[in-house]
Structure 1
């Protein structure tokens, strides 16, 4: 575990996975009644990278974008947020950047994701082999990178190269059924990725999915932690989280807010959690700061633009009455 923490404390992350365009109407407006949309950056890995940079870390994204206006939009947005784009490749042909339309409302919330023929799935082994892993302290990825080929094989190759360079592997399960050819393939591949990782973050449904039923999720998370000395964060929505680290089993609450939308919370949690660990905070403090980041994002429009800067996070923590109690 010392090596894992020393890697994270470099606060320099190579992030593997997609960047996309987000479109969202004004708060409270349904997509079908919208006259205009705000465009910004999305995609789980890109959001995590942006959140890390906004909180003082450095991040490079490894992915493919479409060689068109939308792909260039995504690259420009990555640069806007300070994410290094040295390993972002434009691809031609029929591949297109992923696109997400979602609403800033909780009641009757709708999200529509376009992922057919997604450009990020065109990432190859050569793309990840071009990365200089010695420049980073840890590798971060999210489950969607494994949903299709050649991206799946490339991502596992990135795991091998990161491990050879001494980097810990940080994995957000991020199971999205619409991206996968079958439930069976997803269960097998995501479980393999979890077994190869040093830090695993997921919610109760995702761990339950890997374990064959939500009732088995907590036991699966505990087993992953105890069998491999991993850090495992088992998120339970309003009920908070259970974090397994060494012999510790920490239970933490959430920071209640008037949520505007459900999207972006997991990405923001990961950014806050990792940068807090990088700063030398204890495990409980890191989980709570990640939870605070998640609360900040769900209370604002957008994902990447809603990710907090340190002063916003510190102000939120100072002004909020505190996390909910846990049993």
Structure 2
């Protein structure tokens, strides 16, 4: 039985240095990393019907991710992400192919919700068509079933701003944006101020990922802070997804927020020390707060 359904982007990562193509994208990364942490996971995303999609499906199966809810569409190009790394391991993406951005309500497996333990949106601002029509229905159904809803975010490429997604935000149990990506959407600048602004939308818990500075978690009357773990940075691709996997896994195992936050920071540090978006070897027994 699938415990966590991750939906969002599922793409083919191509490194400029010439490494072999590998599955990537926020939903795929989280599903793989949560599987590594001991959860049964599935991925819901939109692909073309091409060789790239076949490669993605094969790799997800190898990582024990359920692929039955990946939808393939004739005439669409499976999304590619060309990754270029600078001397500090920071990544820059060039995206081609738009299959993942055409995801609609018809692609989402509403029938799967009753059997799940949790739902994770790989990134807010990724699925523009679904955010415009359909995502609120998904979230409402999940909430009615008592499923916790987690969400990361990406850059607001369609310039919707927070008001453009405001109807979705109150459904989120945990919203985990990076400070770099959420700051331009807020009227204030400091992390505590940004969190206060986000909480006003009705989100239960806001987690701000701050790279090597660690992460903070916020609720209406409480703040938790965790410094970053030391790491030799090779590749920052997927570090945020790794953090999210660590936090979600810890939360679902009943760990308190402070421990989930520390586990998330540890997972993010493991991710940046190896090349690839989902290659971190996350052992649930080696977490600062092991998953029982």
Q: TM-score, normalised by structure 1?
A: 0.79
**What is the alpha-carbon distance in structure 2 between the residues aligned to residue 64 and residue 210 of structure 1?**
27
1:289 maps onto 2:271 in alignment: no
Change (3 A) 1:105 1:260: farther
**What is the alpha-carbon distance in structure 2 between the residues aligned to residue 76 and residue 169 of structure 1?**
28
1:31-46 equivalence runs, <5 A: 31=16, 34=17, 36-46=18-28
**Could you give the per-residue CA deviations for residues 27-62 of structure 1, whole angstroms, max 9, x where no partner exists?**
xxxx3xx4x322211001110111111001122211
Change (3 A) 1:282 1:275: same
1:149 maps onto 2:129 in alignment: yes
The aligned residue for residue 266 of structure 1 is 240
Change (3 A) 1:229 1:74: closer
1:207 pairs, out of 182, 186, 199, with 182
The aligned residue for residue 310 of structure 1 is 284
1:1-327 equivalence runs, <5 A: 12-24=3-15, 31=16, 34=17, 36-93=18-75, 95-103=76-84, 106-107=87-88, 109-116=90-97, 118-128=98-108, 130-143=110-123, 146-150=126-130, 152-175=132-155, 177=156, 180-181=157-158, 183=159, 185-213=160-188, 215=189, 218-225=192-199, 228=202, 230-245=204-219, 247-311=221-285, 313-314=286-287, 317=288
Whether the aligned pair in 1 keeps the contact of 2:89 and 2:234 (CA below 8 Å) is: no
Whether the aligned pair in 1 keeps the contact of 2:12 and 2:21 (CA below 8 Å) is: yes
Residues 165-174 or 104-113, more deviating: 104-113
SS at 1:143's partner residue?
strand
Change (3 A) 1:224 1:61: same
**Could you give the per-residue CA deviations for residues 191-210 of structure 1, whole angstroms, max 9, x where no partner exists?**
44333312111122333233
**What is the alpha-carbon distance in structure 2 between the residues aligned to residue 61 and residue 129 of structure 1?**
10
**Higher helix residue share:** 1
**What is the alpha-carbon distance in structure 1 between the residues aligned to residue 24 and residue 228 of structure 2?**
24
Runs of 5+ consecutive residues of structure 1 not aligned to the other structure? 1-9, 25-30, 319-327
SS at 2:68's partner residue?
strand
**What is the alpha-carbon distance in structure 2 between the residues aligned to residue 280 and residue 69 of structure 1?**
41
Give aligned pairs, total: 289
**What is the alpha-carbon distance in structure 2 between the residues aligned to residue 187 and residue 106 of structure 1?**
33
Q: CA deviation at 1:255?
A: 0.3
Q: CA deviation at 1:17?
A: 0.9
Whether the aligned pair in 1 keeps the contact of 2:8 and 2:127 (CA below 8 Å) is: no
Change (3 A) 1:223 1:105: closer
Q: TM-score, normalised by structure 2?
A: 0.88
Whether the aligned pair in 2 keeps the contact of 1:49 and 1:59 (CA below 8 Å) is: yes
Larger Rg: 1
Change (3 A) 1:229 1:45: closer
Q: CA deviation at 1:296?
A: 0.4
Residues 51-60 or 196-205, more deviating: 196-205
SS at 1:202's partner residue?
coil
Change (3 A) 1:101 1:129: closer
Runs of 5+ consecutive residues of structure 2 not aligned to the other structure? none
SS at 2:129's partner residue?
coil
RMSD over aligned CA atoms reads 2.6
SS at 1:305's partner residue?
coil
